[in-house]
Structure 1
Amino acid sequence: MGIPKFYRWLSERYPLINQPGGATVVPIIDNLYLDMNGIIHNCTHGNNPDVRLTEDEMILRIFTYLDKIFHIVKPQKLLFMAIDGVAPRAKMNQQRSRRFKAAKEAAAAAEKAEKAAAKTSDVAEDSKPPVFDSNCITPGTPFMVRLGAHFRFFVRKKIAEDVAWRRPTIIFSGHDVPGEGEHKIMEHIRWAKQAPGYPPNTRHCLYGLDADLIMLSLVTHEPHFCLLREVVSYTGGGKGQPAREALENPGESTFVLLQIGLLREYFELEFKPAQKMPFPFSVERVVDDFVLFCMLIGNDFLPPLPTVDIAEGSLETMFDLYKELLPELGGYLTHAGKLHRGRLEVFLHKLANLEAKVLQERALEAQSLDDKKRKKGPGETPAWASERVEGRRREERAAGPNAPPAGDEVPELGLGHGGRFAALASGRGLELLAAEARDLFLKSASAEEAALAWKERLYVTKLGVGTDPAARRAVVDAYMHGLHWVLEYYYRGVASWNWYYPYHYAPMASDLVDLEQVRISFTHGEPFLPYEQLLAVQPAASCQLLPGPYQRFMLDPDSPINFFYPKDFVVDLEGKKAEWEGVVLIPFIDEQKLLAVSRSIPPSALTPMEQTCNQHGSMVIFKHAGELTGETSDCSSTLPESFSNVTLCNSTVTRQPPLPPFPHGQPGFIPKIVPGTKMGKHAPSGFPTLGTLSVAGKIENAKCSVFGMHSKRPSLILAIKAPAVDVTPTAETLAPHVIGSRVWIRWPYLTEGLISCIGDETGRVPAAGAPVIVDPAWKENVEAQRIEFLEKRGVDIGPSPLWVEVRPLEVLVRHADGSFAKSFAEKGEMVPLQLALRSNPSPDPRFDPDALQAGAALFEPGSRAVVGKGPYYGCLARVLGPGAGGEVGPGPRRAMSVSVEPPPPTAASAAKTALALLGGGAPRYCPAHQAAKQVGISPSALGRIAGSLYLVIGESRRDRLDVGLCVRNAKLGLCVPDAVRFVPPKQPPPRPQAVGEGPPAPVPKGSWEYSEALIKLLKSYKVKAPWLWAAVEQDAKAFELDASRVCPGETPEERLAAAEGLHAWLKRQPMARRPLVSQDAAVAPEAALGHRVVALGGTGVPPFGARGSVTALLPTAVEVVFDGPFAGGSDLGGRTPRAGNLQQLFAGLAVAAAGPCAPTAGDAGTSDVIAGQSVTTPAAGSLWLEVIEVCLSSVLQENRGMELNVKRAGVDVNCL
């Protein structure tokens, strides 16, 4: 659902709904649902117009990302992958607008690229992949047909080779199955809940970024639901950031879990009235009414009400009105997707009373901005601005004026720099209120009179219905049909495939009257065929996506539907704060005319493949068979250069027609919890609850900083209720009872910990029996934590006289006898005593040593293992059964028979690549002053060019491009290996300081050296842009340059072309693909490089038992060139020829000594085994194999995947 800024608003309103830790704390999940279009867009083009990939590279990126998500969640029962199929007609308006706008901006970008190439004498490279047309991500295109085949092969491949993929049933609903991806997912859940025996405590996880997905998760009324989302940053905006990936911490999670259960509990705290109502309070009904409010703010099927904007506090206003009116309404606004129009009209009447005020505030704000913009210099923050105006501007600077709401399907626009800066160059801007509309309020006697005049302007000028009351009433009727249609769509499925809202704007809330007189009816209809939808949504510029016979309908001036494909059109930006929010004013499709011309094409005019593409298909269901099936469909590799065929197929495939529509009158999602569902403190482990503490909610503007900047909006603050006690014990009194005891911290996301220290607000008691030690650092930490609880988490801890230091659980260690023990972190966390819980009502069994010991399977026949000792150390083996020494079991010397696998045929070439990266092709470096002399520039200017250098294009400092090489970031301690390296300073020997001697001399900060390859690139850059280098030489300290001053004699369009040409040229350089890493990676001990390692990470990336060579060391990971390719690998920024390498966390590797690795047979003892993994097909041969130690991350994988993933003790820590 298109609700700009909704995710940020929700997170700041309810600060605890996002679970920190992301991928490392995912609870046990039964069903994982993937709305695949977001993944496809991000992996094919994302938001960067400068990145061009071949189709094979795109598919590999999709596979890698898909496998990554799967192994983060590890679903136990179901994986549902849904790609958008043919959409309902109501959705096509939005799809059509996006695609037309994308095509128009792509044409403008191409024109500017030509000018940029001419300006910079840049010749296009023939080998460069063509620009990707994101409009091809539409059902029925050849790309989508190929993509479907890729997915089906990939699933077969993963089931054959990856244990974790064998566990769940996998349903693939491709582009040929009608319906939007997320709604096909909802359709599955809706029918599943109707089936008898539906499990009441099913645990769901939905991956995606759309606000739509949050709404859909809520309407299921399933409390054990979470959304896996990318970590979103709002503190920098996309425009000013360096155009290079920075791997400051490669092991850090980039995902966050949004917990729907916590959101529901927040709703209950906020909306449950203190006084008894005339009817029972139901949080389930409140959830449904909340979804209705969000529909009024914005959705993909209806335009928002004209005076409703989330950035102006409209949701807060609706909440306040709802709380005020609910006791008087006699009931809730909706029920199971059915709208109570009488109650809604009362609510809308109250909302309409605020229209004049909202419009007047917009007019005053717009006029103030316009006046001061003329008086002050560009980009300066006006001192005159009101707090409301400046607050809005700060938020826009943070989120980026052209940054779309994360995941709201806007990536298809492909705005990039070209579309944004083109508007700046042409003088076109965003207007809060047009000048003529502004004058209505500035020159009118009253706001109410002006609002009436503004309404007339809306209906006459924008809606085009004039003053005819019947025509205006038709707008209201259509809008009410739309609300009913959207509610039906969410709760029961498609009400009508051919209904749509036939206007570009919504009516005023004040005109939504006599709603019960509106007669609502829909004709169900049927979905378009794929080519019919392509005709309906694609612009003429994308006509090549259709077969030849259809293209003429879009291109021929005499075509009966040529009017549907305007070459130029207006984008209305009034009232918008970002380009992508503009209303695209293109004509609506006449369905009858379109279907008539489409169906005039006989099947004989199409090739057999084209005929297949224009048909609806079925869902494909994959299941692991447990044995070889002999099936061959979808087993041939679709990427033969990267993956081999599936030769031993162990899965079955069945096809199921699309699910039927719900029977008429049968409710879909109903506002009731499934009987038997455990909630609150009794919820399944891993699903947090506020119920483990006594809390009260209060709406307060606490300036919560959930995303790194203080919110200007109110938040629901959780006040911890202190237990009633007559006398508060002292820290000394409690120390003997609490130090060394186990507690649960990080409420409400409970993590076990060990109390190491207790204290009061001034000092600490380090041990039982010791007095309080006054400690200023302790006191500062107490105050800092108190502030962090309120600002970061929205928790008012209240009076907290006692604090404890708690060491959180870090790892589970597995000993040689198979037993497990908990290990706690050395560094503790400061926690107020009232937030250190003595018990967890629903602990995670994955962290229970006794449960692990009872369920651990030690090397059963058919399992895989890694040899831990002897000449085959580090080799992958398969357990066949008992050896000569007796039965396989937990004893330290029990024998087993195994086979040892030979290395892959690509091992030799991989070793050569690793050697080249390590030393054979080692770059030569020279100090900065020598490099500067070779290039012909000062050392300070060289440092600026090598880092980030921003060229300001528009009238605001926010509108800038990074034209630096970005190969070093001294402030963050980052650099690009093989381009620059950091030389640490030599530490002077310590010496005693004489009495009266001044302060010691400052320690040098180190220096940078530049490689020959980088110097060559610098010389080329200087030749390409001498005007830029001259400007840098004049002021090498300048972090950014004003393009109007650097190129004073050129027009804005010429400056734009020059800047974009440089930016594009830099992105095409091979060095641009390499990420920034810690500068310490370049000075790692040479003895640690070149080690042969074996992967022990269980399923996933890299595969269990994969061997490789360490080529670089990072702070928390190592860079490994593996012996063979695998899905999920990378080419290390272009430094290796294939995708079989990656940065790998220490804990997932063990050092493997160099030695032979060939098949043999024999018996040995279990003390030689360091890891094991369940598989199905053993080979022949034998060897000896022992489990020694398990790290926490491996235990998580073990208990979800039933593999033994271990970390061997006593091995060089640099490689573990």
Structure 2
Amino acid sequence: MGVLPDRSKKIVPTVYHDLMTNPNSPIIDFYPRDFELDMNGKKMEWEAVVKIPFIEETRLLTAMGPKNELLSDDEKARNGFGVAIKFTYSPEVNFVYPSPLPGIFPEIQYCRCIENIFDLPNVEGLEYVSGLTNGALVNIKALAGFPTMHTLPYSAQLVDGAGVNVFQQDSRNPSIIVTLTDTEMRTKVGTWKEKLGKRCFVGYPFLQEAKVIKVQDELFTYELAENEQDVITKDHSNRDAADYAKEAEFLENWHAKRLGITVGQVECLVHVHMLKGLIRTEEGALIKEYAENPSLRKVYASQTIVEEVVNEDERFIERPALPIEEEFPQGTRAFFLGEFAYGRPLEVTGHVNGKANIVVSVPKNKEPEITKQMIFQAERNNPYTPSYAIAKKLGIHPLILSKITSSFQVISSAGLKLNLGLNLKFEGRKLKVLGFSRKSETGWEFSNQAVKLIADYMVAFPDFFAAIQREPQKSETYETDLWNDPSVANQRIKDIVAWLKKQETSKFERVPLDAEQLDSEVVMALAKAGEQLHQASLEATAKTLNSVPRTALLKPADAEMVLGNQYFRLGDRVTFVAAAGKVPIATRGTVAGISRTATAVLLDVVWDVPFMSGTTLGERAPMFRGQTVSSSTVLNTTNWQVVSASSKSRQRRNVPATGSTGSYGSVGVTQYKDAPAPPALRGGWRGAATGESGRGQSSPNRGARGGKPNLLHSTLVYRPGSQGGPPGGDDANKAQNGNHVNGRGGNGGGRGQGRGRGNGGNRGSAAPQAGGRDYSNVPPPANLEASRGGRGRGRGGRGRGGGNPNRGRGGAIAHQA
């Protein structure tokens, strides 16, 4: 009552609602609807100071007194003090904890907690410690993640007029300016050339581990060769030198104006790849993986880089492979990555010869693939149409459609800007509305549901659309521009606002443009299908497998190191396999949304069973059935990507894999290698078709331009003529290229003694056929085996024929069969 506004009254018991909303309430002044905002130099309204009256405790308690007697027994109990409860995990218990609010909170399955009253410890006789305790790690010994200035030598002093930028404004007050000292060795290029390919720590004073991949000075760039030992030196072009100077100047100014750190002149730039995490090799070793991080800088001034730290981040320490008996001791629970029961839970029962014996849970029935079909059918039932096609269909200007589907501002007579748009797309904020709009390479597209909403808007207010169509390119629209009569304009604007409020467009779910999301109707259908799949999966049997390699075992603690390179599509079935998270381990679900950040892929999953930390995915999924998780915490069981194949299954595969899994790749992740470049194509199309691409090959029947074509093994369909004989025509030698007797000759089978174009030999051998000509019955040219002549530069009698001087460009009749 002393904190909440009246619009949040549903949170407090009903008996108090009257005190917050009744105009005759003795404390109604505590809950004003209209109040003043003090911007106090701020730009946004949410940054302002809200000037509302202070709550007077005495008046509040006096007004609440009579209402307290009307509370129910449960509400009175909630309004009192209870005892502190302590929950302790115990592996010896396993029961179903009943829901305290059935229908709102689900039951807790497999509860392994013991509930006890928590008594505060007795502090009598103890002394409070002021400051840090003995042994606290500070300065250069600070633990990873704790910033410290002491990792680089520096000095500091109070400076007037430094103008450090704070909240997009230069500070007018004195500032503490830090100056880095002893930078001579750290600014030398030779120092960092020796560090190529080695680790360092960037982002001073908030250090993060990285690997040096490139070093630059004013004149040269230094990189490691492919053997990762030799250093390649590249001269700077004019543009490279300009880019270097620009980046160096930016870093110097950025440290001074934004961080208040004077770094001095930047003489060397260091390019880095940030530490991405650990990956697990096939042998079980953990090694570091570095990659470019789009959300962080990749170029740093050399004097701001720290070479080594005292305390490394224990989460990212490399280690060699452990014996399988230590890594997977007996009783370990993990997930199976073999083809037999991919993604199923297992338990290690023993070890033999560096491999494990396991018991894996195998479902009796194979899970049907129905989720992709449901999504495909939903997309067919709700297709999207380009905006220009919708504008043509509805008979409105495309610009008007663009305005009315976004935010369309109309200025009222009072000077207020009223949004009369449908808010189906947000170009500036790069958002779309699920089930209504999306943006493709060709522009915005809208669903049938959106088209119906636009059409209903046009039917409800035809005069409004007729008015805005008169000047579609107008930037500012006043209500009097739409209706000449101010009273009519005011009333029509009110009617439109009321109609839009009734459509509840503000409740439409908005997501980023690049996000792949399913609407609520499809997600609800997937949730119902998930329940059926879960019931079918309860019938399972235990299978014993012996001599299983460690590559087929996925320990929950290693999930993020193994599953980071998976890709997903909407409708994929997944299993939560991480050791920690909001989702119970081994829970299965269906991907209903995919969104991407600079460093991670996030999945909206509708799970097969409810759990306490479940959500509704923005009112799209049933209660407690949705949750957004990182892609590295789930195993894609629809598209197997980290499968560990057995020797027998490898033998069954006839098609070789396109890549190989190297010793430095994560388990099952293909390591692609560059294929050798194909030889250059030489010769004509005949050589490319027959495999004889050499130029100038020796042949008894051809000249020096290439080997003879061999069409004896052609797979082209050869159809006989209509009379059973070989196909032909009244002038078969001209049918091949559409030649005529007195016209321009076609291409022959060899090059003659002149440059003119002509048929160089016999092109047909049969008499004219009865009936129409069948152009599909064309045999290979009969003169392909004829020898080719040389090249000339004549017309008329010197053609491209093989030894036939009587055909030329527009010459006489050629030799006929």
Task: Quickly name the TM-score band, shorter chain normalised.
Answer: 0.5 to 0.7
Choose from 304, 309, 323 the match for 1:835: 304
User: What aligned pairs does 1:948-963 form with structure 2 within 5 A after superposition?
Assistant: 948-951=407-410, 962-963=419-420
Does structure 1 conserve the Cα–Cα contact (< 8 Å) formed by 2:409 and 2:477?
yes
Does structure 2 conserve the Cα–Cα contact (< 8 Å) formed by 1:1081 and 1:1113?
yes
How far apart are 1:844 and its partner, in Å? 0.8
Does residue 96 of structure 2 align to residue 621 of structure 1? Answer: no
Does residue 335 of structure 2 align to residue 866 of structure 1? Answer: yes
User: What aligned pairs does 1:485-884 form with structure 2 within 5 A after superposition?
Assistant: 540-541=19-20, 563-564=26-27, 573=36, 577=40, 581-585=49-53, 588-590=56-58, 594=62, 598=65, 607-628=72-93, 635-638=97-100, 640=102, 644-656=106-118, 671-695=130-154, 696-698=156-158, 709-710=168-169, 714=173, 716=175, 718-723=177-182, 725=184, 730-731=188-189, 733-734=190-191, 736-761=193-218, 763-767=220-224, 768=231, 770=233, 772-774=235-237, 775=240, 776-826=242-292, 829-850=298-319, 858-875=327-344, 877-879=345-347, 881-882=349-350
The root-mean-square deviation of aligned C-alpha atoms, in Å, is 5.0
Choose from 599, 613, 633 the match for 1:1148: 633
Residue 263 of structure 2 aligns with an amino acid whose one-letter code is: I
Q: Distance in 2 between matches of 1:1113 and 1:587?
A: 46
Q: Which residue of 2 aligns with 1:945?
A: 404
TM-score (norm 2): 0.59
Q: Which residue of 2 aligns with 1:1049?
A: 486
How far apart are 1:783 and its partner, in Å? 2.9
Does structure 2 conserve the Cα–Cα contact (< 8 Å) formed by 1:569 and 1:586?
no
Q: Which residue of 2 aligns with 1:980?
A: 437
Looking at secondary structure, tell me which structure has more helix per residue: 1
Does structure 1 conserve the Cα–Cα contact (< 8 Å) formed by 2:30 and 2:55?
no
User: What aligned pairs does 1:377-392 form with structure 2 within 5 A after superposition?
Assistant: none
| Alpha-carbon distance change, 903 to 1138 in structure 1, aligned in 2, over 3 angstroms | farther
Structure 1, residues 83-134: CA drift from partner, whole Å, max 9, x if none?
xxxxxxxxxxxx64x54xx33xxxxxxxxxxxxxxxxxxxxxxxxxxxxx52
Does structure 2 conserve the Cα–Cα contact (< 8 Å) formed by 1:754 and 1:824?
yes
Q: Which residue of 2 aligns with 1:918?
A: 376
How far apart are 1:646 and its partner, in Å? 2.9
| Alpha-carbon distance change, 1059 to 1100 in structure 1, aligned in 2, over 3 angstroms | farther
Residue 916 of structure 1 aligns with an amino acid whose one-letter code is: M
How far apart are 1:873 and its partner, in Å? 1.1
Q: Which residue of 2 aligns with 1:1094?
A: 575
Does structure 1 conserve the Cα–Cα contact (< 8 Å) formed by 2:593 and 2:604?
yes
Residue 111 of structure 2 aligns with an amino acid whose one-letter code is: C
How far apart are 1:897 and its partner, in Å? 2.6
| Alpha-carbon distance change, 1110 to 723 in structure 1, aligned in 2, over 3 angstroms | same
Q: Higher relative contact order by CA 8 Å / sep ≥ 6: 1 or 2?
A: 1
Q: Distance in 1 between matches of 2:269 and 2:8?
A: 55
How far apart are 1:723 and its partner, in Å? 0.7
Q: Distance in 2 between matches of 1:1097 and 1:953?
A: 56
Q: Distance in 2 between matches of 1:636 and 1:815?
A: 44
Structure 1, residues 879-917: CA drift from partner, whole Å, max 9, x if none?
1522xx539xxx3x322233347899xx88xx7565333
| Alpha-carbon distance change, 678 to 898 in structure 1, aligned in 2, over 3 angstroms | same
| Alpha-carbon distance change, 594 to 902 in structure 1, aligned in 2, over 3 angstroms | farther
| Alpha-carbon distance change, 933 to 715 in structure 1, aligned in 2, over 3 angstroms | farther
How far apart are 1:757 and its partner, in Å? 1.6
Residue 576 of structure 2 aligns with an amino acid whose one-letter code is: A
Q: Distance in 2 between matches of 1:785 and 1:943?
A: 42
Structure 1, residues 640-685: CA drift from partner, whole Å, max 9, x if none?
557642354311122347899x99xx99977533333222222232
- Give the stretch that moved more between structures: 749-758 or 1097-1106: 1097-1106
Give unpaired runs (5+ residues) of structure 1: 1-94, 104-132, 143-530, 544-553, 556-561, 985-1005, 1156-1163, 1169-1186, 1192-1205
How far apart are 1:1012 and its partner, in Å? 1.2
Residue 148 of structure 2 aligns with an amino acid whose one-letter code is: T
Does structure 1 conserve the Cα–Cα contact (< 8 Å) formed by 2:423 and 2:506?
no
| Alpha-carbon distance change, 807 to 582 in structure 1, aligned in 2, over 3 angstroms | closer
Does structure 2 conserve the Cα–Cα contact (< 8 Å) formed by 1:765 and 1:772?
no
Q: Distance in 1 between matches of 2:68 and 2:27?
A: 19
Give unpaired runs (5+ residues) of structure 2: 225-230, 519-566, 650-660, 673-817
User: What aligned pairs does 1:414-493 form with structure 2 within 5 A after superposition?
Assistant: none
| Alpha-carbon distance change, 1099 to 900 in structure 1, aligned in 2, over 3 angstroms | farther
How far apart are 1:1119 and its partner, in Å? 5.1
How far apart are 1:617 and its partner, in Å? 1.3
| Alpha-carbon distance change, 728 to 659 in structure 1, aligned in 2, over 3 angstroms | closer
Does structure 2 conserve the Cα–Cα contact (< 8 Å) formed by 1:1097 and 1:1149?
yes
How far apart are 1:743 and its partner, in Å? 0.9
Structure 1, residues 897-941: CA drift from partner, whole Å, max 9, x if none?
33347899xx88xx7565333334532233323311333421111
Does residue 509 of structure 2 align to residue 1073 of structure 1? Answer: yes
Q: Distance in 2 between matches of 1:928 and 1:574?
A: 41
Residue 773 of structure 1 aligns with an amino acid whose one-letter code is: H
How far apart are 1:826 and its partner, in Å? 4.7
Does structure 2 conserve the Cα–Cα contact (< 8 Å) formed by 1:715 and 1:794?
no
Q: Secondary structure at the match of 2:303?
A: helix
How far apart are 1:868 and its partner, in Å? 0.8
- Give the stretch that moved more between structures: 668-677 or 757-766: 668-677
| Alpha-carbon distance change, 739 to 619 in structure 1, aligned in 2, over 3 angstroms | same
Q: Secondary structure at the match of 1:894?
A: strand
How far apart are 1:1136 and its partner, in Å? 4.7
Choose from 1021, 1033, 1040 the match for 2:457: 1021
| Alpha-carbon distance change, 931 to 896 in structure 1, aligned in 2, over 3 angstroms | same
Q: Distance in 2 between matches of 1:640 and 1:1091?
A: 32
| Alpha-carbon distance change, 1030 to 1143 in structure 1, aligned in 2, over 3 angstroms | farther
Choose from 670, 684, 694 the match for 1:1210: 670
Residue 649 of structure 1 aligns with an amino acid whose one-letter code is: C
How far apart are 1:1090 and its partner, in Å? 4.3
Q: Which structure: larger Rg?
A: 2
TM-score (norm 1): 0.42
Does structure 2 conserve the Cα–Cα contact (< 8 Å) formed by 1:704 and 1:792?
yes
Q: Distance in 2 between matches of 1:1025 and 1:682?
A: 71
Q: Which residue of 2 aligns with 1:1105?
A: 586
Identity of aligned residues (%): 19
How far apart are 1:1209 and its partner, in Å? 1.5
Equivalences, count: 585
User: What aligned pairs does 1:892-907 form with structure 2 within 5 A after superposition?
Assistant: 893-900=355-362
Looking at secondary structure, tell me which structure has more strand per residue: 2
Does structure 2 conserve the Cα–Cα contact (< 8 Å) formed by 1:950 and 1:1039?
no
Q: Distance in 2 between matches of 1:668 and 1:1049?
A: 77
Choose from 1004, 1008, 1011 the match for 2:444: 1008
Does structure 1 conserve the Cα–Cα contact (< 8 Å) formed by 2:594 and 2:604?
yes
